[in-house]
Structure 1
Amino acid sequence: MSGRIEARLAERKIELPNAPAPVANYVPAVRSGNLLFVSGQGPWFNGELRYIGKVGRDLTVAVAQQSARLCALNVLAQARAALGDLDRVVRVVQVQGFVDGIPEFAEHPQVINGASDLFVEVFGEAGRHSRFAVGSGSLPGNISVEVAAIFEVE
């Protein structure tokens, strides 16, 4: 693939992991009209699960931001697998971020900035999006962060 977005990824030395297989009874992405809904992605890199544990106890905010960035890379990998070409993304519409933090943790938005910053880096103004960043009591596999997204596509 050698489109505009792939060139931007290469220029920034950003490597997309292989799109992870679903771990339960769901599909990684669903297209409805001009929207692509990408299921929640954890911090997998080519079959290796990274960034395990609770933010605020096992991981710092800075490390959790890297976890969110890796989740966002997996979102992009799923979008590329579903669309065939990331140039078909018109804009990032919404990012949904879940952070497994200790009960007193309150910096969820800063953690999910790791994902948001990546989308803006990759898509420029089209990467600016609505979003939510919430805490959860736990996440599957004891992962620290999970990110899902909705894209407008052509």
Structure 2
Amino acid sequence: MSDSIRQRVQALGLTLPTPSQPAANYINHVISQNQLFISGQIPMIDGKPAYIGRVGETLSDDDGAQAAELAALGLLGQLSAAVGDDLSRVVRILRLGVFIASSGDFQRQSGVANGASNLVVNALGDKGRHVRTAVGVCSLPAGVAVEVDAIVELQP
């Protein structure tokens, strides 16, 4: 299998997006020793925020999972840019943080977060297996339903 993250994503029938630029006073990623920290990514279509609303109110669980997958696709774009599209530089995804804008009584954040987890594992194989936090929040930037960040272990 290819060590190109872009080619692995294309094999799933998806297109790796060009990494988005920060919307405020932060940077896309930081490498510290053997760890790569990737800033939170929101679902974007053609450079515009997508899946606006809260899961359990205006969006269904399936909408939320699709938003999580789209945010994770952006995260893979950032990963690819950070490592020069070379998956051999990655030991594994250590942690995904998945934040879900949801109604106060919504309790299926884990199912929504699977949209992100499934894409990362399907694209990266065993290197994509990770620990995860799925957290319900009242709102996210641009009114989107999901934001995903990651911590990645890199080769020394």
**Which TM-score band applies after superposition, normalised by the shorter structure?**
over 0.9
Shift of 1:13: 1.3
Shift of 1:80: 1.3
**1:70-149 equivalent positions in 2, closer than 5 A:** 70-87=70-87, 88-149=89-150
Show structure 2 runs of 5+ residues with no match: none
**1:45-56 equivalent positions in 2, closer than 5 A:** 45-56=45-56
Shift of 1:4: 4.2
Between the two proteins, the alignment pairs up a number of residues equal to 153
| Residue 44 (structure 1) aligns with | 44
TM-score, normalization: structure 1? 0.94
Which string of whole-angstrom CA distances, capped at 9 and with x for unpartnered residues, describes residues 38-65 of structure 1? 0001011331211000101111001110
Secondary structure at 1:94 match in 2: strand
Secondary structure at 1:120 match in 2: helix
Shift of 1:112: 0.5
1: CA distance, partners of 2:97 / 2:20: 18
| Residue 63 (structure 2) aligns with | 63
TM-score, normalization: structure 2? 0.93
Shift of 1:17: 1.2
What percentage of aligned pairs have identical amino acids? Answer: 43
Secondary structure at 1:57 match in 2: coil
- One-letter amino acid matched to 2:143: N
Conservation of the 8 A alpha-carbon contact between 1:18 and 1:45: no
Shift of 1:148: 0.2
Root mean square deviation of aligned Cα: 1.3
Conservation of the 8 A alpha-carbon contact between 1:6 and 1:86: no
Secondary structure at 2:56 match in 1: coil
